Amino acid sequence: MLSYIRRHLGLKLFFSYLVVIVMGVAVLASTAEMVVPAAFQQNMAAMLPMMSSMMGGSPQALNQSLYTNFQAAVSEALSMAAAAATVTAVIASLLISRQVVAPVQAMMAASWHIAEGHYEERVRVAGNIPNQEQDELGRLALSFNQMADRLEHIESMRRQLIGDVTHELRTPLTTIKGSMEGLMDGVLPTNAETYSQIYREADRLQRLVNDLQELSRVEAGAYDLHLQTTSVKALVDSTIVRLGSQFLEKGVSISTQISLDLPSIKVDEDRIGQVLLNLVGNALQYTPSGGSVQISATGGPTQVQIAIADTGVGIPPEHLPHVFTRFYRVDKSRSRTGGGSGIGLTIAKHLVEAHGGSIWVESPGVGKGSSFIFTLPIGDKIV
């Protein structure tokens, strides 16, 4: 019995109310018991001489009988009042404990539902009361719903990721399988072109897997930033050294415009180098031969701003808000043949934000080039 009560909040509340009621009744009874003789003396004794002269008989006997009747009347009135009060209090405490327990039970049921994978489950929050005016249970329900929102969002991201990854893996795998079948059936010629096509697809798969691994690492924040004081110019120069020959090969010119008074930055050189390599590599990829790419850097009081502007294919305005979303490609067929997985900009965004900066894109429209701009806090302003 005791352990049953211990396991039910509603019963605990009810019994605690009951204890209060019993104690109230006990105090009422004992106080009345103590107070009755004095009250009798104060209110009834004065009437005794008058009553004994009216009714005859000894005043002592009258006093005794009057006292007994007075006490009986008080006890009767008190017990009836106590019974009525107890019944009302029991009903009220039942209702109140049920009202307190109901939201807790609702949250318990909702959490079971969520645990079973129904992430859309929410609990009802009392009325339209604003957050700060809710009581503890109301606030608990609100935080429960916020937690459910987050879980639902994470779950939908997980599903989306699995769907995206499956989709990305399927294309090169289908091509590899098709080519191998063609080779086995003798439909495809066993020449260098066939082998290099298979190699290209396998290479794409490998890059995709590497990008995914990198993405999961940056998204989980599972990497350390080794911050060093360095100059923007040094980082830009090393990017140009790495990509210079590819620019020459494609016939795209590259130039820089870096303010002389630019303050030094405190960043992880490898990570920001990775961001630059990605943005400048994209600029090269999406700029046809004869075009140009310019890297410029300017300094403000708290941050430096680095922009990579190209004269390439540009980005239609409706795509601009999405290019940093993973797997997002403006022209799916074009960037797929170019080997893009649509992950590079997502990684770049994470890395820039990890340094306390921000990144965005501007483009006047299709065929009018685009500029990717990012900021980095200077010196010790780093987070």
Residues that bind ligand ADP (CB under 6 A): 278, 282-283, 286, 310, 312-313, 315, 323, 328-331, 335, 340-346, 370
Q: What is the closest distance, in whole angstroms, from the C-beta atom of residue 343 to ligand ADP in the complex?
A: 6
Q: What is the closest distance, in whole angstroms, from the C-beta atom of residue 330 to ligand ADP in the complex?
A: 3
What's at 111, amino acid-wise? S
Buried b (16+ CB within 10 A) or exposed e, 66-77: bbeebbeebeee
Class of residue 219 by CB neighbours under 10 A (exposed 0-12, middle 13-18, buried 19+): middle
Closest CB to ligand ADP among residues 125, 276: 276
Rounded CA gap, 74 and 303, in Å? 86
Closest CB to ligand ADP among residues 232, 308: 308
Q: What is the closest distance, in whole angstroms, from the C-beta atom of residue 205 to ligand ADP in the complex?
A: 14
381's tokens: 């302003």
Q: CA triplet 298, 300, 302: central angle to 5 degrees? A: 130
Closest CB to ligand ADP among residues 93, 341: 341
Beta strand spans in 225-317 (E): 227-230, 253-258, 265-268, 292-299, 303-310
Closest CB to ligand ADP among residues 278, 375: 278
Q: What is the closest distance, in whole angstroms, from the C-beta atom of residue 354 to ligand ADP in the complex?
A: 17
In contact, 338 and 355? CB cutoff 8 Å: no
Rounded CA gap, 309 and 293, in Å? 6
Closest CB to ligand ADP among residues 263, 342: 342
Q: What is the closest distance, in whole angstroms, from the C-beta atom of residue 357 to ligand ADP in the complex?
A: 17
Closest CB to ligand ADP among residues 143, 206: 206
Class of residue 166 by CB neighbours under 10 A (exposed 0-12, middle 13-18, buried 19+): exposed
Q: What is the closest distance, in whole angstroms, from the C-beta atom of residue 127 to ligand ADP in the complex?
A: 46
Q: What is the closest distance, in whole angstroms, from the C-beta atom of residue 169 to ligand ADP in the complex?
A: 15
Rounded CA gap, 156 and 150, in Å? 10
Closest CB to ligand ADP among residues 13, 283: 283
Q: What is the closest distance, in whole angstroms, from the C-beta atom of residue 240 to ligand ADP in the complex?
A: 16
84's tokens: 């009525």
Q: What is the closest distance, in whole angstroms, from the C-beta atom of residue 195 to ligand ADP in the complex?
A: 25
Closest CB to ligand ADP among residues 267, 275: 275
Class of residue 122 by CB neighbours under 10 A (exposed 0-12, middle 13-18, buried 19+): middle
Closest CB to ligand ADP among residues 10, 281: 281
Rounded CA gap, 255 and 258, in Å? 10
Closest CB to ligand ADP among residues 150, 332: 332
Which residue's CB atom is positioned nearest to ligand ADP? Answer: 340
Q: Residue 359 contacts by C-beta under 8 Å, 6 or more apart in sequence?
A: 275, 324, 348, 349, 352, 353, 372, 373, 374, 375
Q: What is the closest distance, in whole angstroms, from the C-beta atom of residue 296 to ligand ADP in the complex?
A: 15
Minimal CA–CA distance to 12: which of 123, 104, 88, 87? 104
Report the phi/psi class of residue 339: left, alpha or beta, with left for phi > 0 and alpha for psi in -120 to 50: left
Measure the N-to-C terminal CA separation of the chain; round to a whole number of Å. 58
